[in-house]
């Protein structure tokens, strides 16, 4: 039985508008993410079909499913890497249609990538600083001529970067090139960089991939810690069922682009449709 953080103890999932469930503690507020009937086609292939999901303001949500189910594609739709064919996404009550990726980041969404995308030949610290892309007003000339604004920004970003790196014990590696980090640290750095933009919703695409069980366990604690500390919602894609069942409050199961089940970990674990989807995958191997 995984140990739950303070918040989880009281957390019960309650239905909202008949569209989905969110944690009871978030029920008074509108959901951070409200996705309705999202579809996307790649040529003839419907990679995501009629995807409807609500995520509460401080929820840890899981998106699972067999390989090729369309999970990463959902993240790409949420961050406007792809344009949906149909449907709409409300982030914090705001329609994300037509927004560029960096505008969405400003609106409060940050993500990591399944295939790590760090700024490999920049230092760990600089990777994090790139994430701090808003809230600073020093202009190009201020920085070129080293006016007071530059000194202020550099100091603020430096202090903040080390604070964030410290959450994942990466402070000692601040001056290392990101490309030289071991694999697990690269995954952690991606999370730190995403946090640097102060998101309201953090999307993690297979954060535990390539980690050993003890690293994964530490990661679970860290994800809960992030939620508690920053009061944010986290949506994660993961194949590691211990992690998903251990920390997610609401889970959606995707198969061939469609949601085949939504519910609490308990409900998902005992859902025959889910079991079949996974067993079917096992049998096919």
Partner 1 sequence: MDKTMRGYRQIPVWLKYLINALLLCTLLVLGNHIIASGGVNRAQKAVILQIGIYILLAVSLNVATGYLGQLPLGHAGFMAVGAYAAALLWKALPKETWAVILGLLLGGLVAALFGLVIGIPALRLKGDYLAIITLGFGEIIRVLIINLPGITGGTPGLMSIPKHSTFLVVYITVILSCALIHTLMKSRHGRAILAIRENEIAAEASGVNTTFYKVLAFAVSAFFAGVAGALYAGYTGILTPGNFTFMTSINILVMVVLGGLGSMAGSIIAAAILTYLPLALQSFNKYRMVIYAVLLIAVMIFKPSGLLGRYDFSLSRILEKAINGRLFKKPGKAGEDHA
DSSP state of 82: S
Task: Examine residue 69 and tell whether it contacts ligand ATP (CB under 6 A).
Answer: yes
Burial (Cβ within 10 Å: 0-12, 13-18, ≥19) of residue 138: middle
**Are 77 and 36 in contact, with CB atoms under 8 Å apart?**
no
Task: Examine residue 72 and tell whether it contacts partner 1 (CB under 8 A).
Answer: no
Among partner 1, Mg ion, ligand ATP, none, what does residue 42 contact (CB within 5–8 Å per kind)? Answer: ligand ATP
**Of residues 137-166, those binding partner 1 (CB under 8 A):** 138, 140, 143-146, 150, 153-155, 157-159, 162
Q: Tell me how far CA of residue 80 lies from CA of 45, 69, 84, 96, 104, in angstroms.
A: 19, 19, 8, 8, 8
Task: Examine residue 200 and tell whether it contacts partner 1 (CB under 8 A).
Answer: no
Complex with partner 1: residue 101 or 225, whichever CB lies closer: 101
One of 72, 80, 127, 157 touching ligand ATP (CB under 6 A): 72
**Of residues 101-130, those binding partner 1 (CB under 8 A):** 101-102, 105-106, 110-111, 113, 117-123, 125-126, 129-130
Min. distance of Cβ 2 from partner 1 in angstroms?
Answer: 30
One of 58, 72, 79, 127 touching Mg ion (CB under 5 A): 72
Q: By C-alpha distance, which of 204, 168, 220, 159 is closest to 189?
A: 168
Helix (H) or strand (E) holding 102: helix 101-107
Min. distance of Cβ 198 from partner 1 in angstroms?
Answer: 10
Task: Examine residue 230 and tell whether it contacts partner 1 (CB under 8 A).
Answer: no
Q: In the structure encoding, which two tokens stand for residue 259, read together?
A: 């949601």
Complex with ligand ATP: residue 30 or 68, whichever CB lies closer: 68
End-to-end CA distance of the chain: 30
Task: Examine residue 71 and tell whether it contacts ligand ATP (CB under 6 A).
Answer: yes
Burial (Cβ within 10 Å: 0-12, 13-18, ≥19) of residue 232: buried
Min. distance of Cβ 282 from partner 1 in angstroms?
Answer: 33
Alpha carbon of residue 162 to chain centroid: 21
Task: Examine residue 134 and tell whether it contacts partner 1 (CB under 8 A).
Answer: yes
Q: From CA 2, how far away is CA 245, in angstroms rounded?
A: 9
Q: By C-alpha distance, which of 49, 188, 209, 201 is closest to 127?
A: 188
DSSP state of 150: H
Residues near partner 1, by CB under 8 A: 79, 81, 100-102, 105-106, 110-111, 113, 117-123, 125-126, 129-134, 136, 138, 140, 143-146, 150, 153-155, 157-159, 162, 171-172, 174-177, 180, 193-194, 196-197
Residues near ligand ATP, by CB under 6 A: 42, 47, 65, 67-73, 114
Residues near Mg ion, by CB under 5 A: 72, 114
């Amino acid at each position: 039985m995984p140990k739950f953080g303070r918040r989880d103890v009281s957390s019960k999932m309650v239905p909202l508008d008949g569209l989905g469930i969110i944690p009871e503690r978030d029920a008074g507020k509108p959901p951070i993410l409200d996705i309705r009937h999202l579809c996307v086609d790649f040529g003839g292939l419907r990679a995501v079909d009629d995807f409807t999901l609500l995520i509460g303001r401080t929820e840890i949500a899981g998106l699972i499913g067999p390989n090729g189910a369309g999970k990463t594609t959902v993240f790409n739709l949420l961050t406007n890497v792809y344009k949906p064919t149909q449907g709409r996404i409300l982030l914090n009550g705001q329609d994300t249609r037509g927004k560029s990726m960096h505008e969405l980041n400003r609106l409060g969404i940050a993500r990591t990538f399944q295939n790590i995308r760090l700024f490999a030949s920049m230092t760990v610290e600089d990777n994090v600083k790139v994430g701090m892309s808003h809230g600073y007003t020093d202009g190009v000339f201020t920085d070129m001529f080293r006016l007071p604004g530059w000194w202020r920004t550099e100091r603020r970003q430096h202090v903040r970067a080390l604070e964030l790196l410290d959450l994942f014990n990466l402070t000692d590696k601040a001056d290392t090139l990101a490309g030289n980090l071991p694999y697990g640290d690269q995954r952690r750095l991606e999370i730190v960089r995403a946090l640097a933009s102060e998101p309201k919703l953090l999307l993690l695409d297979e954060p535990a991939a390539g980690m050993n069980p003890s690293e994964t366990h530490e990661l679970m604690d860290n994800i809960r810690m992030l939620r508690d500390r920053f009061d944010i919602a986290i949506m994660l894609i993961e194949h590691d069922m211990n992690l998903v069942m251990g920390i997610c409050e609401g889970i959606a199961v995707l198969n061939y682009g469609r949601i085949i089940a939504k519910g609490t970990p308990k409900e998902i674990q005992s859902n025959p449709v889910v079991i079949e989807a996974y067993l079917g995958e096992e049998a096919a191997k």
